[in-house]
Each structure stands twice: as C-alpha cells, then as structure tokens.
C-alpha cells in the first residue's frame, strides 16, 4: 500500500506521526468505536486512507469495535463533489467490511428549519460572513453532534468513542486559531507526544477528539496522497479518477491561478460567503471543463458559473442596508432581511433551480417531517395559506409567524419596492439578476 522508498525523510516523518497517533488510540482506547469525520476533501481523504491502511496492517492487534465514516451533508455542497464523497465513503465502508471489521457510512444533514434556504427566506438571515458564521453551527456542528449522540447511545453510553478529524494547523489562520484554543499550539506541543499534541478539547461528553494530521503541512498531504497506493485500488472510483486526479484537478486546475487555488480553495457549500471570493467554486468550474468521467455527473460549467453568479447576488442583497431591518444591539445595526430582501433571495433560488432543471439545488428536495412536502414545493408551489400553516407548525419563531409567503413569491413586486427604496441598489441588483438569467 505504501511506496515509502520514494518518499523524502520529511514525508516519512509526517507519516510516522500519524502512525504513532493511531497506534496510541488503538492501545489506550480499546474496544470502542472509531468515528472518521469525512468531507471528501484532501485532508479527510488522506485521513480515511491512512486509517484504512492502519486497519489493514494491524488486523490481529486492532482493538477498535466498529468504524463509522461520518459525512456531514450541508445540503448545499457543490453537487458533483458531494456525489464523489458519497461514492468514496461507500467504497471505503465496503473495503473495511471486507477486511472483517464492522463498518457504517453515515450521512448527516440539517433539519429543514436549519437549512440555508429556510434561514434566509423564512427567518431572514443575511448570508454568513467572517463575523457571523451562523451556518457552521446549524449546518455542520448540530447535525454532527446529533449523529455522535446516536452512536454513543446505540453503542454504550458509559463508554467513550473516538472522533478522528482531518484538521491541520496550517489550513488557515481561523482554523489554526481554533486549534490553538482546543489543543496545544505547534509552538508549545511536542509533535512526538501523541496525547499532548493530537488530542483536542470538545464539549461533547464521551467523545475523544483526535487530529492525527494536525502537524502535517499541505505539501505533506499532497505527497502522501500521490505516493500511497489506495487500499481499495480495485474500486471503480480509483480507476476512473486515476487515483486522486480529480482532487488535484480541483486544487491545481489552472496554471495562472494554481497558486491561489492551492492556497485559498476550500470546497463545501456553493453559497459560502465567509470569504469574499469562492476559489473552490472557481476551481470546480475550471475542472468541470477538463474532467470527463462516466462515474459521476460533473454537470455543465455554465451551471456552476450560474451558482457563482447567484452567490454574488445573495451577497449583494444581504449587504444592501435598505433590504435589512434595523436592530439596536450587536456588532452591526443591520438586522434580518426585510420582506423585499427575502423576496429577492427567494427569486434567486427559483431562477437557479429553473436554470439547472432542479439538479444543483438538491437541498430543496428535503421534505417536511409530517406533511412530506418538499422544501421546493413549500416555497414555490403550495397554496400560500397552506404553506404558511406548515411553516408555523415547523417553526415557532416570531419571524416565521410573520412571514408573508405569497408576497415573497412576487418577484415583480420586490423589484418595484427596491426601486422605491434605493435606485442605485435596484440598478445593481437588477443587472446582476439579468446576468444570472442569461445562463439559461
């Protein structure tokens, strides 16, 4: 599985650090489940690979009770990358089971009330930004915590579980800062002291959180992905993509932008607005032009460009003061979106959904728990009075009770009102909307 003779001493040392971390877990936390946090990106892909490699080499001595591969689906992932992650997770689970271990692949998702669509349209949330990352808790943390609690309850509430994450120190300033709060920093921790350097703090009971890749640099990750033969080498996904070719194409997809993609590209929600530019989506558009495969539907580059255009439009709407309510407290005086702002947001989603023939906004297919009505139909089609009744039955907030769904569906009214409120904003948003519609 390894081609160690072709690796530099530095890469072998990085590999040894991960091996030591997994060995420590195996020795000190026997007979409990291992949960692998898997997103489909390069770091979690390497983590999954190395854990499977470890399980393969230590069949006789491995003490883990069960392996869970946990994929957090925000319902807003770049569609073909989500499909790739689902296939990879499933193939990995099958391979682990073939080795004789108990294994499960779990996909988590937010509740319908916590989805990006609901929070923007019904609650009037503006798009997330660096200071207000409301999406992280609702779309990622809460679904993951729920899944972990279920695993703990089903397994043994008196025993802990191990959560393995692919977080690294040099990913970003924000993540590095978060790591330093939850664990010891690179400057103070001894990388060779596994328990001291890789164990992270968590507020979840009975969860031991460990980051085996914490001290690996990005170059280590890519070199290891290139040099380590995937343990499921016979799987069609590896043949189709020639190893990790698709990930490399996404991260290094354009010569003139390669360095910026490599440094800044993060793949996740297409509507992510925490950073000003979505380098991940730009790279995905570039890769969609190059990669040909029968395994997954990468889709049209034009459709991905439409997503990028929609993201910019959502940012523009959220950053227009006349489309926001005024609040008295907080770091900003701009409160939730008003009815005009919410109506414009709803129209953006409707246009994108029509342009892509319902293929990219897969999160809108999520159904209400009691009525079985899709979020798409609830927002766009169901009789307004019935839609309102369903909304307030699911969401008891004051904002939900005050929602005017029939008004929000009227995009003509929204543009007229915007023109009255702010002519410059009207010209800017209308121009962006026309550009978005041109992708049809």
Looking up residue 177, the CATH number of its domain turns out to be 3.40.50.620
Question: Scanning the structure block, which residue is given the tokens 């992510």?
Answer: 272
- With helix as H, strand as E and coil as C, how does 284-299 read? HHHHHHHCCCCCCCCC
For the cut 70, the answer to whether the pLDDT of residue 246 exceeds it is: no
Predicted local distance difference test score (pLDDT) of residue 241:
41
Residue 131 forms part of a structural domain: yes
Residue 213 forms part of a structural domain: yes
Cα gap 280→249, rounded to integer Å: 11
In the predicted model, what is the mean pLDDT of residues 64-88? 91
Q: Integer distance in angstroms from the first to the last C-alpha of the chain? A: 47
Predicted local distance difference test score (pLDDT) of residue 91:
87
Cα gap 84→44, rounded to integer Å: 13
Predicted local distance difference test score (pLDDT) of residue 231:
59
Look at the chain and report how many structural domains it folds into. Answer: 1
Q: Of 325, 348, 330, nearest to 402 (Cα)? A: 325
In the predicted model, what is the mean pLDDT of residues 224-247? 53
Instruction: Find out whether 63 and 23 touch, Cβ atoms under 8 Å.
Output: no
Residues 6+ apart with CB under 8 A from 440: 354, 355
185 confidence band (pLDDT: 50, 70, 90): very low
Residue 99 forms part of a structural domain: yes
Predicted local distance difference test score (pLDDT) of residue 250:
53
For the chain, the farthest-separated pair of C-alpha atoms sits apart, in whole angstroms, at: 73
Q: Of 278, 240, 268, 217, nearest to 46 (Cα)? A: 217
Question: Scanning the structure block, which residue is given the tokens 């692949």?
Answer: 105
Predicted local distance difference test score (pLDDT) of residue 223:
75
In 298-410, which ranges are continuous DSSP H helix?
301-318, 339-355, 375-380, 384-394, 398-401, 405-408
Q: Of 48, 59, 118, nearest to 89 (Cα)? A: 48
Predicted local distance difference test score (pLDDT) of residue 433:
97
Cα gap 36→162, rounded to integer Å: 8
For the ranges 20-34, 139-153, 170-184, 286-300, the lowest mean pLDDT is seen at 170-184
| The dihedral sign for the CA sequence 179, 203, 135, 373 | positive
In the predicted model, what is the mean pLDDT of residues 101-127? 97
DSSP letter (8 states) at residue 365: G
Q: Does residue 413 or residue 154 have the better pLDDT?
A: 413
Residue 111 forms part of a structural domain: yes
DSSP letter (8 states) at residue 2: B
Residue 294 forms part of a structural domain: no
In the predicted model, what is the mean pLDDT of residues 295-305? 81
Predicted local distance difference test score (pLDDT) of residue 251:
54
Q: Does residue 344 or residue 168 have the better pLDDT?
A: 344
Predicted local distance difference test score (pLDDT) of residue 140:
94
Cα gap 69→33, rounded to integer Å: 11
Length of the chain as a residue count: 440
Cα gap 423→417, rounded to integer Å: 10
Cα gap 340→174, rounded to integer Å: 34
> SS3 of 276, please?
coil
Residue 175 forms part of a structural domain: yes
Predicted local distance difference test score (pLDDT) of residue 264:
45
Question: Scanning the structure block, which residue is given the tokens 């369903």?
Answer: 390
Question: Residue 225 has which token pair?
Answer: 């992905």
134 confidence band (pLDDT: 50, 70, 90): very high
Helix (H) or strand (E) holding 416: helix 411-421
For the cut 80, the answer to whether the pLDDT of residue 4 exceeds it is: no
Question: Residue 48 has which token pair?
Answer: 């999954």
Pairing of strands 161-164, 207-210: parallel
Strands (E) in 117-218, as ranges, are 161-164, 199-200, 207-210
Predicted local distance difference test score (pLDDT) of residue 267:
63
Predicted local distance difference test score (pLDDT) of residue 94:
92
Q: CB-based burial of residue 356 (10 Å sphere; 0-12 exposed, 13-18 middle, 19+ buried)?
A: buried
Cα gap 424→440, rounded to integer Å: 26
Question: Residue 197 has which token pair?
Answer: 């350097």
Sheet holding 34-38, edge to edge: 103-108, 67-72, 34-38, 161-164, 207-210, 199-200
For the cut 90, the answer to whether the pLDDT of residue 104 exceeds it is: yes
Residue 389 forms part of a structural domain: no
Predicted local distance difference test score (pLDDT) of residue 373:
98
| Range among 32-46, 94-108, 274-288, 298-312 with highest mean pLDDT value | 94-108
299 confidence band (pLDDT: 50, 70, 90): confident
Residue 179 forms part of a structural domain: yes
**Average of per-residue pLDDT values in the chain:** 83
For the ranges 34-43, 102-111, 361-370, the lowest mean pLDDT is seen at 34-43
For the ranges 76-85, 108-117, 279-288, 315-324, the lowest mean pLDDT is seen at 279-288
Cα gap 49→1, rounded to integer Å: 10
34 confidence band (pLDDT: 50, 70, 90): very high
In 29-124, which ranges are continuous DSSP H helix?
42-57, 79-98, 116-121
| The dihedral sign for the CA sequence 207, 212, 216, 218 | negative
Predicted local distance difference test score (pLDDT) of residue 99:
93
For the cut 70, the answer to whether the pLDDT of residue 232 exceeds it is: no
Helix 301-318 / helix 423-437 crossing angle, nearest 10 deg: 170
Question: Scanning the structure block, which residue is given the tokens 């169901």?
Answer: 382
Q: Does residue 135 or residue 275 have the better pLDDT?
A: 135
In the predicted model, what is the mean pLDDT of residues 407-423? 98
Q: Which domain, by its residues, includes 177?
A: 4-236
pLDDT digit string, tens, across residues 320-379: 999 999 887 766 789 999 999 999 999 999 999 999 888 899 999 999 998 999 999 999
292 confidence band (pLDDT: 50, 70, 90): low
In the predicted model, what is the mean pLDDT of residues 249-271? 56
């Amino acid at each position: 599985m390894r081609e160690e003779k072709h690796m530099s001493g530095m890469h072998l040392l990085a590999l040894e650090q991960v091996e030591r971390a997994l060995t420590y877990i195996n020795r000190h936390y026997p007979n409990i489940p291992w949960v692998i946090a898997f997103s489909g990106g390069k770091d979690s892909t390497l983590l999954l690979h190395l854990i499977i490699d470890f399980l393969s080499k230590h069949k006789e001595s491995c003490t883990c009770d069960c392996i869970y591969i946990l994929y957090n689906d925000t319902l807003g992932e770049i569609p073909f990358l989500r499909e790739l992650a689902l296939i990879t997770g499933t193939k990995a689970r099958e391979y682990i089971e073939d080795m004789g271990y108990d294994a499960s692949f779990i996909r988590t998702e937010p509740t319908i009330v916590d989805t990006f669509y609901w929070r923007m349209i019904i609650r009037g949330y503006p798009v997330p930004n660096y200071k207000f990352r409301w999406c992280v808790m609702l779309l990622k943390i809460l679904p993951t915590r729920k899944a972990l609690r279920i695993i703990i309850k089903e397994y043994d509430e008196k025993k802990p579980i191990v959560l393995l994450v692919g977080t690294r120190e040099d990913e970003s300033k924000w993540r590095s800062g978060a790591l330093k709060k939850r664990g010891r920093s690179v400057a103070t921790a001894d990388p060779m002291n596994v328990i001291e350097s890789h164990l992270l703090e968590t507020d979840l009971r009975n969860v031991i959180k460990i980051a085996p890749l914490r001290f690996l640099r990005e170059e280590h990750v890519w070199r290891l992905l290139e040099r380590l033969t995937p343990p499921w080498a016979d799987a069609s996904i590896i043949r189709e993509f020639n190893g990790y070719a698709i990930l490399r194409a996404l991260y290094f997809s354009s010569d003139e932008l390669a360095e910026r993609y490599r440094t800044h590209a993060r793949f996740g929600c297409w509507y992510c607005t925490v950073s000003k530019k979505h380098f991940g989506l730009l790279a995905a558009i570039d890769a969609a032009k190059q990669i040909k495969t029968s395994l997954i539907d990468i889709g049209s580059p034009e459709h991905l460009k439409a997503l990028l255009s929609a993201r910019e439009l959502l940012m523009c709407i959220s950053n227009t003061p006349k489309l926001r309510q005024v609040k008295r407290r907080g770091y900003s005086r701009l409160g939730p979106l008003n009815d005009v702002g919410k109506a414009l947001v709803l129209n953006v989603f409707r246009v994108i959904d029509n342009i892509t023939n319902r293929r990219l906004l897969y999160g809108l297919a999520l159904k209400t728990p009691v009525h079985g009505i899709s979020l798409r139909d609830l927002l766009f089609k169901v009789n307004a009075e019935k839609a309102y009744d369903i909304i307030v039955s699911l969401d008891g907030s004051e904002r939900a009770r005050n929602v005017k769904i029939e008004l929000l569906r009227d995009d003509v009214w929204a543009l007229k009102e915007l023109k009255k409120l702010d002519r410059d904003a009207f010209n800017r948003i209308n121009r962006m909307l026309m550009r978005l519609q041109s992708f049809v």
